[in-house]
Structure 1
Amino acid sequence: MPEKLSDGERGPLQAELEHLRQEHRDLDAAIDALLHLGTVDQLQIQRLKKRKLSLRDRVAFIEDQLTPDIIA
Structure 2
Amino acid sequence: MAITRGEIVSILGPVDDEVVAELMGTGASVEELREAWAWLHNDEALMGAGRPLPGTRVGRLIEMLEPDEDETSRTV
Calculate the TM-score normalised by the size of structure 1: 0.29
**Higher percent of residues as helix:** 1
Q: Bigger radius of gyration, 1 or 2?
A: 1
Calculate the TM-score normalised by the size of structure 2: 0.28
